[in-house]
């Protein structure tokens, strides 16, 4: 017993022995740490390899966002397109009216519907033919001549030579000629009119 104690005590007091034990413990600890790191890395790689793509919920969420963005873009584009068509319709009505003015300058008469149909009629940007209203075909431009009244969206005008109407985006006309008066009841019709006074000015300048 004393001999064993002496041997153990000798080992404890021997610096070389202590260094050996310390190195052995350090090697075991580093080996264990390295093993743990390898295990963690292996587990992380396993999780990544099992995650092959987006889940169903994630995919649905992405598609929802894409759908909302596309819907907003489509609505904006539609509004822009309609604004351009309305602007183009106004220009078309003015061009058709200028065509009618040319007839007046050569004949001093209100252009008949047949002339408008063959020489001045246009289709609006929605593909519908422009409508032409006048008081009487070939009416002479003179004092007391027949003329139209216009009642449309709060506008009340008298002594009108003609009215041109585009049916607008809904392609349905809400304007009608009744007893010498063109009445437009709401809707989205676009119209352009020329007064008799304006024609007098055009003729006097010619």
Q: How far apart are the first and last CA of the chain?
A: 142
Q: Answer whether 96's CB lies under 8 Å from 130's CB.
A: yes
Angle at 151 between CA 165 and CA 185, to 5 degrees: 70
Check residue 104 and give its pLDDT.
95
Is the pLDDT at 64 greater than 80, yes or no? yes
Going by their DSSP bridges, the two strands 181-184 and 148-152 should be labelled as parallel
Across the range 121-144, mean pLDDT stands at 92
Check residue 140 and give its pLDDT.
93
Is the pLDDT at 51 greater than 60, yes or no? no
Is the pLDDT at 44 greater than 70, yes or no? no
| Neighbouring C-beta atoms of residue 92, cutoff 10 Å | 19
Check residue 50 and give its pLDDT.
52
pLDDT digits (tens, 9 = 90+) for 69-109: 888 877 777 788 889 999 999 999 999 999 999 999 999 99
Q: 85: phi > 0 → left, psi -120 to 50 → alpha, else beta; which?
A: alpha
Residue 127 has phi, psi (to 5 degrees) of 85, 10
Report if pTM > 0.85.
no
> Which DSSP string do the residues of 74-123 spell out, in sequence order?
HHHHHHHHHHHHHHHHHHHHHHHHHHHHHHHHHHSBPPPHHHIIIII--B
In 3-state terms, what secondary structure has residue 178? strand
């Amino acid at each position: 017993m004393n001999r064993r104690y002496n041997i153990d005590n000798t080992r404890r007091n021997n610096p070389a022995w202590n260094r050996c034990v310390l190195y052995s413990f350090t090697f075991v600890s580093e080996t264990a740490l390295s093993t743990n790191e390898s295990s963690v890395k292996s587990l992380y790689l396993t999780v990544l390899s099992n995650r092959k793509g987006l889940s169903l919920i994630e995919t649905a969420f992405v598609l929802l966002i894409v759908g909302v963005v596309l819907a907003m873009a489509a609505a904006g584009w539609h509004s822009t397109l309609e604004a351009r068509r309305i602007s183009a319709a106004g220009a078309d009505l003015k061009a058709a009216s200028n065509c009618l003015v040319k007839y007046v300058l050569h004949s001093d008469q209100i252009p008949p519907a047949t002339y408008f149909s063959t020489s001045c009629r246009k289709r609006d940007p929605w593909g519908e033919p422009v409508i032409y209203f006048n008081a009487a075909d070939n009416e002479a431009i003179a004092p007391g001549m027949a003329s139209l009244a216009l009642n449309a969206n709060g506008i009340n005008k008298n002594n009108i030579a003609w009215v041109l109407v585009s049916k607008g985006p809904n392609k349905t006309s809400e304007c009608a000629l009744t007893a010498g008066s063109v009445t437009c009841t709401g809707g989205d019709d676009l119209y352009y009119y020329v007064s008799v006074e304006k024609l007098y000015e055009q003729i006097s300048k010619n």
